[in-house]
Amino acid sequence: MSFSAVELIIKKRERFELSTEEIRWLVANYTSGVVADEQMSAMAMAILLNGMNRREVKDLTLAMIDSGERLEFDGLAMPTADKHSTGGVGDKITLPLAPLVASYGVAVPQLSGRGLGHTGGTLDKLEAIPGWQASLSNTELYSQLAEVGAVICAAGSGLAPADRKLYSLRDVTGTVEAIPLIASSIMSKKIAEGTKALVLDVKVGSGAFMKTLDRATELAQTLVALGQDAGVNTSALLTDMSTPLGLKIGNALEVEESVEVLAGGGPADVIELTVELAREMLSQAGVTGVDPSENLRNGKAMDKWRQMISAQGGNPDAELPKAKHSHQILATESGFVSRLDALEVGVASWRLGAGRERKEDAVQFGAGIELNVQIGSRIEAGQPLMTLFTDTEEKFARAIELAGGAVEISNSSVAQRKLILGRIS
Ligand code: URA
């Protein structure tokens, strides 16, 4: 069946539903180049403004899955589970989480991306480990999953190519924030990846895509419904991203903090989220009645981490890259930290060189920020609030302004941050 792209754009512009056939035609013809970028841009804007119903979002997701290959792990002796985070500042949870879940006999095929903008990418973080390789063939991915039980690697170009094309277009047309487009983008890749269980970490707050709990809840409900419709056991946690996760932000710094957690230490918020997401993934994969914090304490998750890193050429004992320059920001007054804004800290870290501005840019592995305080911490004037790291000294001025502006100190004590704000299943 053939349609006209212009007629479909007008139909969505006038708030009508697109049929299954129309959506399938649109995605297939956009992927092959028949539907032009400018037409798909107009369609993305019409979807952002007028929305899509559940059936349309499901059809869009299925059409994006069908634009590429679909992996399957049915031959594995273990169940599979994966996690996807909508992205945040200091969000290194995938690093300790994948080996932790694998240490309970549930395989984790985690296909990840690189960072763009103020939220870091998992692959950039792991590439800070000397020797570690992000690219695996499908055969290598399968063998590592069977032998080690955990893989974090680059998503191949064969997985949901329609999403790859559409995502680049959305990035430059102000259409990233549309819930139907975010949901179909995330879920097309996760369903095509072949996991049988999936947990979504939907971030809420200044450092996240979704700034309010209402919007985050709507996104989480859409994601969970898409997963369940596709036969994947899916649930979501809504978690706070108004302030950074943990104390270290930046590629090598986040690997360092992940290893602290795997060694049984690390900041309480990173431990809490790692354990809660592990519990959720294990339960979606049918493993209940275990306390995931145990394998952080007894070294079993660390053993899996070492195997996982070594299997991809990395040396888990190698020293991590360090930045050439550092600068401490000191508190100018005494009191309690009442604000430590995730977005401003994230942008400062990005400007220091931890992130990239354009896809082709290289990241600085040692760049980033180490915090000395979190929300609620008591601080005296003159004590360090944070240390900034970069290889490029000229980057300090702008980053100091941003990071300094992220902090507020008040006279009275401040309530502890609530990290887990809700659960959708
Ligand atoms: N992550 C994705 O993969 N796609 C989006 O649209 C947003 C976040």
pLDDT tens by residue, 137-159: 999 999 999 999 999 999 888 99
Q: Which atom of ligand 1 is nearest to the CA of 186?
A: 3
State the catalytic residue, choosing from 84, 190, 351, 395: 84
Question: pTM of the entire structure?
Answer: 0.95
How many whole angstroms from 120 Cα to the centroid of ligand 1? 13
Q: What are 351-361's pLDDT values in tens digits?
A: 999 998 777 78
Per the annotation, the verdict on 206 as an active-site residue is no
Determine the atom of ligand 1 nearest the C-alpha atom of 113. Answer: 3
At 90, the pLDDT band (50, 70, 90 cuts) reads very high
Residue 210 Cα to ligand 1 midpoint, Å, equals 12
CB 187 near ligand 1, within 6 Å: no
User: What tokens appear for 157 in the block?
Assistant: 């170009």
pLDDT average, residue stretch 111-119: 77
Reported as half-sphere exposure (CB side, CA atoms, 13 A), residue 334 has a value of 2
Question: What is the Cβ-side half-sphere exposure of residue 2, based on CA atoms within 13 angstroms?
Answer: 2
Mutate which of 163, 185, 223, 226 for ligand 1? The one with the most ligand atoms within 8 Å of its CB, which is: 185
Residue 139 identity (one-letter amino acid):
T
Q: Is 16 helix (H, G, I), strand (E, B) or coil?
A: coil
**Whole-number pLDDT of residue 358:** 74
The answer to whether residues 248 and 136 belong to one domain is yes
Mean pLDDT of 285-312: 97
Q: What ligand 1 atom has the least distance to the C-alpha of 182?
A: 6
Query: From the CB of 185, is ligand 1 less than 6 Å away?
Result: yes
Per the structure, the complete domain to which residue 21 belongs is given by 5-51
Amino acid found at 150: A
Average pLDDT for residues 206-228, to the nearest whole number?
A: 96
In 3D, which of 250, 303, 345, 367 has the Cα closest to residue 96?
303
148/196 same-domain check = yes
* Nearest protein Cα to ligand 1, atom 1: 186
Q: Is 274:296 a contact under the CB 8 Å cutoff?
A: yes
Alpha carbon separation from 57 to 110, 175, 212 (Å, rounded) = 24, 16, 22
Choose the catalytic residue: 41, 67, 185, 349: 185
Out of 82, 163, 201, 341, pick the active-site residue: 163
Q: State CA 391 to chain mean position distance.
A: 25
Kindly tell me if the per-residue pLDDT of 322 is higher than 90: yes
Verify whether ligand 1 is closer than 6 Å to residue 94 (CB atom): no
| Average pLDDT, rounded, for the chain | 95
Domain boundary among 283, 311, 339: 311
Q: Which residues contact 311 (CB under 8 A, 6 or more apart)?
A: 144, 147, 148, 151
Of 161, 165, 208, the C-alpha closest to 188 is 161
pLDDT tens sequence across 5-49: 999 999 999 999 999 999 999 999 999 999 999 999 999 999 999
210 and 152 belong to one structural domain: yes
Number of the ligand 1 atom closest to the C-alpha atom of 176: 6
Please confirm, yes or no, whether 190 is among the known catalytic residues.
no
Asked whether 182 lines ligand 1 (CB < 6 A), one says: yes
Instruction: Tell me the C-alpha distance between 151 and 149, whole Å.
Output: 7
Residues 272 and 189 in one domain: yes
* The total number of structural domains that make up the chain: 3
pLDDT of residue 114: 78
Pocket test for ligand 1, best of 65, 86, 112, 182 (most atoms within 8 A of CB): 182
Measured from the CB, is residue 122 less than 6 Å from ligand 1? no
- For residue 295, the domain's CATH number is 3.40.1030.10
Residue 287 lies in a domain: yes
Is residue 337 in some structural domain? yes
- Closest atom of ligand 1 to CA, residue 181: 6
SS3 185: helix
pLDDT higher than 80, residue 66: yes
Q: Where are the alpha helices (DSSP H) in 202-287?
A: 213-229, 251-262, 268-284
Residue 278 CA to residue 251 CA, distance in Å, equals 22
Residue where a domain terminates, one of 288, 311, 334: 311
Distance 86 CA to ligand 1 centre (A): 7
388 in contact with ligand 1, CB cutoff 6 A: no
- Per-residue model confidence as pLDDT tens digits over 169-183: 998 889 988 999 999
pLDDT, tens digit (0-9, with 9 covering 90-100), for 362-394: 899 999 999 999 999 999 999 999 999 999 999
The Å distance, Cα 40 to ligand 1 centre, comes to 17
Please state, for a pLDDT cut of 70, what percent of the chain lies above it: 99
* Amino acid 327: pLDDT: 98
Of 119-123, 162-166, 213-217, 278-282, the range with the lowest mean pLDDT is: 119-123
Ligand 1 neighbour 85 (Cβ under 6 A): no
Instruction: List pLDDT tens digits, range 236-282.
Output: 999 999 999 999 999 999 999 999 999 999 999 999 999 999 999 99
Residue recorded with tokens 């920001």:
329
Nearest-5° Cα angle at 124, 280 to 192: 50
> Above 90 in pLDDT, residue 209?
no
Verify whether residue 163 is a known catalytic residue. yes
Phi and psi angles of residue 389, each rounded to the nearest 5 degrees, phi first? -130, 135
What pLDDT score does 113 carry?
Answer: 80
Which pLDDT score is estimated for 116? 63
Token digits of residue 340: 């430590």
Residues 213 and 279 in one domain: yes
The CATH number of residue 398's host domain is 3.90.1170.30
Contact 109, 149 (CB under 8 A): no
- CATH code of the domain containing 16: 1.20.970.10
User: Do 40 and 104 lie in a common domain?
Assistant: no
